[in-house]
A and B are shown apart, each in its own frame.
Chain A
Amino acid sequence: MRKVMTLLCLLIGISWASAQTNVTGVVVSADDGQPVIGASVLVKGTTHGTITDVNGKFSINLPEQAKTLVFSYVGMLTQELAAKSNMHVILKSNAQQMNEVVVTAFGIRKDQKALGYAATDVSAAQLEQAGSTDLSSALDGKVTGVTVTPSSGMPGASSLITIRGARSFTGDNTPLYVVDGMPIASTADVSTGNSVSGSDFSDRGADIDPNDIASITVLKGQAAAALYGIRASNGVIIITTKSGQGLAKGKPEITFSTSNTVDAIARYPQLQTIYAQGSGGLYNPTASKSWGPLITALPQDPVYGGETSGSQNPYTAKYGMHPGMYYVPQRANAGLDPWTTPHVYNNVKDFFREGLTTNNMFNISQALDKTTYALSLSTMNQTGIVPSTGMNRYTAKGSMTTKLNDHWKTGINTNYVQDRILKTTSANDGIVALVYPAPPSYDLKGISSGYANNPYKENAYRSTSGFDDPYWSLKNNLFSESTNRFFGNAYADYSAAWNHNQTLDVKYQLGADAYSTLYETIWGYGHQGGQGSADDLMFKRTTINSLLTANYDWKITEDWDFTALLGNEINDEATKSVDAYGQTFNWPGWNNLNNTVTKSNTISQLADRTVGTFGSVSASWKNMLYLNATGRQDIVSSMPHGNRTFFYPSASVGFIVTELPGVKSNTLSYLKLRASYAQVGQAGTYMANYYSVPTYSGDFWGGQPIVYPINSINAFTPSTTLYDPNLKPQNTKSYEGGFDLKLFDNLIGLNYTFSRQNVTDQIFAVPLAGSTGSSQLITNGGAIHTNTHEITLSVNPIRTKDVDWSMGFNWTKMDNYVDKLASGVGSIFLGGFETPQVRAQIGDKFPVIYGVSYAHDSKGNLLIDDTGSPIAGAPGVIGKVSPNFLLDYNTTLRLWKCTINAVFSWKEGGQMYGGTNGLLGLYGVGKETLNRANIIVKGVHTDGTPNTTPIALQTYENNINSIDESSIYNNSFIKLRELAVSYPVLKTSSVSLDLSLFARNILIWTNYPNFDPEASQGNTNMAGSFERFSLPQTSSYGMGLNFKF
Chain B
Amino acid sequence: MKNKINLSKWVMIGLGVAFLSSCSQSIMDRINTNPDNPTTTASKFIITDLETSTSFNIVGSDLSFYADVYMEHEVGTYGQMFDAEERISMPVAASTYDDNWVELYTNFKNAKIVIKNCSTGGSEAGNNITKGVAEVLAAYNLAVLTDMFGDVPYTQAADLTLPASGSYFQPAIDKQAVVYQGIFDYLNQAITDLAGSDAAATGSLGAQDLIFGGDASRWIKFAYGLKARYTMHLLYRSTNPQQDLQNIITWANESFASPDEDAKYAVYQGEGTSASSPFAQFYNDRDYFSVSQSFVDKLTARNDPRVYVLFMNAQTWVIDKNPTKIYAAPNGDPIEQVDTYDIPVYEVGFKVPTDLLSYHELQFLKAEAYARMATPDTASAWSALQNGVRSCIATKITTMVNDVNNEQGLGDSTIPDSVVVKYMNTIRKTLYKANPMKEIMVQKYLACYGGEGEVLEAYNDYRRLKAFGQQSYITLDNALNSTKFPLRYAYGTSDVTANPNVAAAYGNGQYVYTDPVWWAGGTH
Contact = CB atoms under 8 A, between A and B. Distances in A.
A716 B337 contact: no
Nearest to B160: A773
A604 B39 CA distance: 14
Contact of A279 (B89, B105, B335): B335
Contacts of B336: 279, 958
Interface in A102-133: none
B49 to A, nearest CB: 4
Given A716-B38, A824-B499, A835-B93, A772 B45 contact: no
B184 interface: no
B158 A466 contact: no
B82 to A, nearest CB: 9
Interface stretch (A157-165, A371-379, A633-641): A633-641
Nearest to B282: A700
Contact of B105 (A691, A770, A962): A770
B101 interface: yes
B171 A710 contact: no
B234 interface: no
Interface stretch (B17-25, B244-252, B292-300, B514-522): B17-25
B22 A611 contact: yes
Interface stretch (A59-67, A314-322, A718-726, A891-899): A718-726
A769 B495 contact: yes
A601 B493 CA distance: 32
Contacts of B500: 824
Q: Which of B25, B34, B53, B278 has the most CB of A within 10 A?
A: B34
Interface in B41-84: 41, 45-46, 48-49, 52-53, 56-57, 61-62, 65, 83
A705 B52 contact: no
Given A9-B4, A644-B25, A770-B495, A875 B315 contact: no
B388 to A, nearest CB: 30
A256 B162 CA distance: 62
B287 A769 contact: no
A965 B510 CA distance: 20
Contacts of A714: 45, 48
A686 B95 contact: no
A36 B275 CA distance: 72
A192 interface: no
A604 B34 CA distance: 7
B159 A611 contact: no
Interface stretch (A282-290, A471-479, A785-793): A282-290
Contacts of B65: 700
B28 interface: yes
Interface string A670-701: 00000000000000001111111010101111
Contacts of B207: 713
Interface string A618-646: 00000000000000000111110110100
B260 interface: no
A512 interface: no
B276 A834 contact: no
A1019 B315 CA distance: 39
B474 interface: no
A700 B168 CA distance: 31
B338 interface: yes
Nearest to A706: B275
Contacts of A775: 102, 494
In the complex, which range does the number of interface residues on chain A fall in? 35 or more
Interface stretch (A174-182, A418-426, A527-535, A990-998): A527-535
Contact of B46 (A530, A637, A717): A717
A518 interface: no
A709 interface: yes
Given A5-B8, A825-B498, A834-B98, A641 B287 contact: no
B281 A701 contact: yes
B286 interface: yes
A700 B61 contact: yes
A930 interface: no
A5 B340 contact: no
Contacts of B315: 286
Contacts of A935: none
B121 interface: no
A606 B9 contact: no
Interface in B135-174: 152-153, 157-159, 162-163, 168-171
A769 B337 contact: no
Contacts of A874: 508
Contacts of B340: 284, 286
B253 interface: no
B94 A875 contact: yes
B38 to A, nearest CB: 5
B5 A598 contact: no
A597 interface: yes
B271 to A, nearest CB: 6
Nearest to A9: B1
Interface stretch (B106-114, B192-200, B225-233): B106-114
A700 B157 CA distance: 27
B32 A466 contact: no
Contact of A641 (B29, B106, B269): B29
A579 to B, nearest CB: 11
A694 B54 CA distance: 13
Contacts of B492: 770
A735 to B, nearest CB: 31
A530 B407 CA distance: 13
B273 interface: yes
Nearest to B276: A705
A710 B275 contact: yes
A711 B338 CA distance: 33
A286 B112 CA distance: 50
A715 B163 contact: no
Contact of A722 (B28, B98, B113, B163): B163
A773 B282 contact: no
Interface string A766-788: 11111111110101000000000
A716 B502 CA distance: 30
Contacts of A638: 32
B157 A531 contact: no
A874 to B, nearest CB: 6
B158 A6 contact: no
B15 interface: yes
B249 to A, nearest CB: 35
B284 A717 contact: no
Given A466-B286, A703-B285, A824-B169, A771 B56 contact: no
B497 A826 contact: yes
Nearest to B283: A465
Contact of A716 (B41, B169, B495): B41
A706 B498 contact: no
Given A687-B33, A690-B34, 16 more contacts: A465-B283, A465-B338, A528-B284, A570-B23, A583-B272, A700-B285, A702-B285, A703-B285, A706-B56, A715-B49, A719-B37, A770-B101, A771-B152, A772-B171, A774-B162, A834-B98
14 contacts: A286-B315, A465-B286, A528-B285, A606-B34, A644-B28, A691-B37, A691-B38, A703-B285, A705-B281, A707-B274, A715-B48, A715-B208, A770-B106, A875-B95
Nearest 9 Cβ contacts at the A-B interface: A773-B109, A584-B272, A773-B158, A465-B287, A769-B499, A690-B37, A770-B494, A770-B102, A715-B49
Interface of A: 1-2, 5-6, 9, 279-280, 284, 286-289, 462-463, 465-466, 528-533, 548, 568, 570, 572, 583-584, 597-598, 600, 602-609, 611, 635-639, 641-642, 644, 686-692, 694, 696, 698-703, 705-711, 713-720, 722-725, 766-775, 777, 779, 824-827, 834-835, 852, 872, 874-875, 958-959, 962
Interface of B: 1, 4-5, 8-9, 12, 15, 19, 22-23, 25, 27-29, 31-41, 45-46, 48-49, 52-53, 56-57, 61-62, 65, 83, 88-89, 93-96, 98-99, 101-102, 104-106, 108-110, 112-113, 152-153, 157-159, 162-163, 168-171, 207-208, 210, 267, 269, 271-276, 278, 281-287, 315, 335-340, 492-495, 497-500, 502, 508
